[in-house]
Every structure is written in structure tokens, then in C-alpha cells.
Structure 1
Amino acid sequence: MKTDVSVAHTLPSAGTHRLLIRNMVCPQCIRVVWDGLLALGLQVHRVALGEAEVSAVGEGTEPDWPAIRTTLEQAGFALLEDPRAQLVDRIKTLLVTLIHYPPPGPRLLNYSTYLVEHLGRDYPYLSHLFSVSEGLTIEKFSIRQKVERAKELIGYGELSIAEVAGNLGYSSAAHLSRQFRQVTGLTPTEFQRLGPASHARRSLDALT
């Protein structure tokens, strides 16, 4: 299986269908979607966060779309067919990937430019569409994701709070602490003192 947490888009080959899928937020989701599509008898060419590329067996044969929808829904996902819903989900997938599974090198901090470059739409349009659809701004969604990642890193117990802040691109531990408390009601240090039992990661599905 080709496990991929990237978000790069390439044109699918002839006869290949790209599926845009809601609620794929972690590498484990890729395995679940891959296995589910294989079980339908499809040729699975690629699965990444938020998308998959498949083709039906047999020349000129179309995939069984109702079966695909049902299989994805039973696994907690959803096939996105409304272009606006697809775009909102792409925004989420890009941000989740960038924050939780960043590429090697310096951490990218200008999310607005990143979204515009990958989606080919101006940022005011993306921001408005996202806010209307989700009831919160792209900035607040990004902050929630960064706090979730901070909770993970704190839970590992390998980094200081200052190092966690630096890892996530915060200018200081105090900046992280302010946003962390806004989201969780606790400072990072208070969260850390609660112990490993409190560090169970809240499902990202609840944040997307």
C-alpha cells in the first residue's frame, strides 16, 4: 500500500477517478480507506489525506458510486461531491497536514499564502467560504490544530514547553500558553501536571 500524508495534486491517468473524502485526518485513516476501497473490487492507485485515486476493473467500467459512498460512511468518512464542500475540506486537509505532519525543513508559518498557492483562489474568498461553512475562521481552526499538536508533544514528555512552542512556530512559550489556555482552559504546564491519563488525544474528527 502506498501510504501518503502529502497533499500534492497530480492529474489522474485516463480511467482513474479522484475521490475527495471528508474526515481523513491521520495516517491510520489512509489504511482504512485503502482497505475499504480494495474490498469493493476497485483498483486503488493512491490514497492520501483527503483523497484517493481509483479505477474500476474492466475497460470502460464505472466504479459503483453508491457502494463507495456507503463504505466510506460506515468507516466514518464521507465522499465529497459539492465543489464548495470539497474546497472547505481541502483547506482543512492542507492545514492538518502542515501542522501535524510538516515537511522537513523550516516550519511554514504563512498559512494564507500556503492556501492560496495550493488552491488557486484568493484568500478573502477562501476565508469567507470557510467561515460560512464551519462557523469559525481559518485562523481559529489553525489555532485549534496547533494546540492539539502541542498536547501530543507535551504528552510525549520529551520536550520542554519552550521547545514545543518553537516546534510549532510560536514566537515564545508565553504565546503558546495564551492560545493553549484559550482552547483548553489550562496552561501547557497545568496540562502537563495532570499526567499521562489526561494526554489522550482528542479525536481530530471533532476539530474538522
Structure 2
Amino acid sequence: MVVEQQLKAVGIGYSKVQLGDVALESNPSPAEMSSLHERLSALGFELLNDRRSTLVEKIKNIIIRLIHHTDGEEVNTKLSVILAEELHMDYHYLSSQFSAAEGVTIEKYAIQQRIEKAKELLAYGQLSLSEIAYALGYSSVQHLSQQFKKVTGQTPSQYKTAPLTGRMPLDKV
């Protein structure tokens, strides 16, 4: 809504606004783009004009949606397949662009997101560790525990008894 408000305020026509993506109806003038950039920056948003940055944001948004905003219906589908299908691009190209921009592989980024989701679920205390492992697509509790310790330095049990060690905002992972 905030992005839509700023587009309207600057007078830039658009046909679609969704997380990380705006479809403009025409090419705005440099002055309009500058004004939009200033307005969005003041609100904590970043305007991405180059193709790689836009692609990386799309990849991140898909991963976040899959891990944090679905009920695990796509857990058994490989991430590489989902990304290639949704973005209509070869996974190797996506992977190389992501790694070059972020300095981390798509797989490692997805693991970091899964661990953040595991932290959230552990903090709620409503699911067992085996239920959390299943919900996040891990083959076993042991696999989740190994990755959890590798990323956080703690086992899930240690984290659960001392959750104040902190969760990270999704955009900082």
C-alpha cells in the first residue's frame, strides 16, 4: 500500500504492485523516478533498477514465501525446480546471479531462512522438534539439529531454553 501511495503521489501509472515488484504502465521521466526514489528511501524502501538486484529480490521473496508463508505444501518440491518454474529461467543462471550479488548460495540463504523459521516455531512452543523438522522439509530431526547448530552455534534444545539469543529480521538474514 505504501508503494502504491507513493506512485500515486508522484503521478506514475502502474498496473501491478506486489512484494518486490512493480509493473509500470509507461516509462516515467527521470524527475519522477528521482522523486519516487527519494520518497521510498525516506520510508525505508530501496528502489532497484538493475536486473540482477531485481532478480535477487524475486528469489528472496519466493524463498521467504515458501518457508514463512505457506503451510508446507511445496516442502517436497526441490527449491531449484520451484525457482526455475516461477521465474522462467535456468536455475544455474539464477544461482550464479544470486551468489554474485549476495556472496552466499541460494541453498545457504534458504537454510538461514529455515533456521529463522525454526527459531520462531521453537519460541512458540506449540510444535515438537519432529513436527518442526517435518514442517520445514527436513528428512529428520537430526538433520534439522545439525543445520541449526551449524548456523546458530546452539542445538534447538539449547535455543528453546534460552530463546533470548535472538531472531533476525527476515530482510537481514
Q: With structure 1 as the length reference, what TM-score do the two structures score? A: 0.72
For residues 78-111 of structure 1, the C-alpha deviation after alignment (integer angstroms, 9 at most, x for no partner) is: 1111112211221111111111112673534400
CA distance in 2, matches of 1:62, 1:39: 13
In the alignment, residue 87 of structure 1 is paired with which amino acid? L
Give the structure with the higher percent helix. 2
Structure 1 residue 136 corresponds to structure 2 residue 104:
yes
Match in the other structure for 1:80? 48
Match in the other structure for 2:169? 203
Q: Is the 8 A contact 1:162 1:172 kept in 2?
A: yes
Could you list the runs of 5+ residues in structure 2 that have no partner in the other structure?
A: none
Pick aligned residue for 1:47 from 3, 14, 17: 17
CA distance in 1, matches of 2:145, 2:82: 25
Could you list the runs of 5+ residues in structure 1 that have no partner in the other structure?
A: 1-30
Structure 1 residue 194 corresponds to structure 2 residue 166:
no
For residues 159-204 of structure 1, the C-alpha deviation after alignment (integer angstroms, 9 at most, x for no partner) is: 1111111110111111111111111111111100014xx1753111
CA distance in 1, matches of 2:15, 2:131: 39
Match in the other structure for 1:90? 58
Give the structure with the higher percent strand. 1
Offset of residue 144 of structure 1: 0.3
CA distance in 1, matches of 2:74, 2:93: 28
CA distance in 1, matches of 2:106, 2:2: 28
Match in the other structure for 1:12? none
Aligned pair count reads: 171
The CA RMSD measured in Å over matched residues stands at 2.5
Matching of residues 1-208 of structure 1 within 5 Å: 31-37=1-7, 40=10, 46-53=16-23, 62=28, 64-102=32-70, 105-195=73-163, 198=164, 201-207=167-173
